[in-house]
Amino acid sequence: MSDTPVKQQNTAAFYGQSVASFAIAMAATTIGIFRLDADAWVRAFLAIAVLYLVTSAFTLAKVIRDRQEAGRIVSRVDQARLEKLLSEHDPFEKL
């Protein structure tokens, strides 16, 4: 009666691609900012803005993951309660 979902794991290739993609994007952005024909304060402002954007993206991803995991736990608790009620129910018992 209980369906336990299979835990999905990412492959090593997907993990490696994600890390490489992030590193290439950060390197390209950093090179672009420092090669920009502008004053040093403009480049510094853009560098701080990029760092803020990256940390905000990591935080958002973590919050979304945590919220999804919490929903999964609540769902499993509700399912367990329902299974307990159904297993204890005797349809032939008089009220």
What's the Cα-to-Cα distance from 10 to each of 5, 7, 24, rounded to whole Å?
A: 15, 10, 20
Does the pTM surpass 0.75? The reply is: no
Closest to 83 (Cα-Cα) out of 92, 71, 75, 94: 75
The pLDDT tens digits of the residues spanning 11-68 come to: 889 889 999 999 999 999 999 999 999 999 999 999 999 999 999 999 999 998 888 8
What gap in Å lies between CA 95 and CA 90, rounded to an integer? 10
Please report how the helices 12-34 and 40-88 are oriented relative to each other, as an axis angle in degrees rounded to 10: 160
pLDDT band at 4 (very low <50, low <70, confident <90, very high): low
R_g of the chain, CA atoms, integer Å: 25
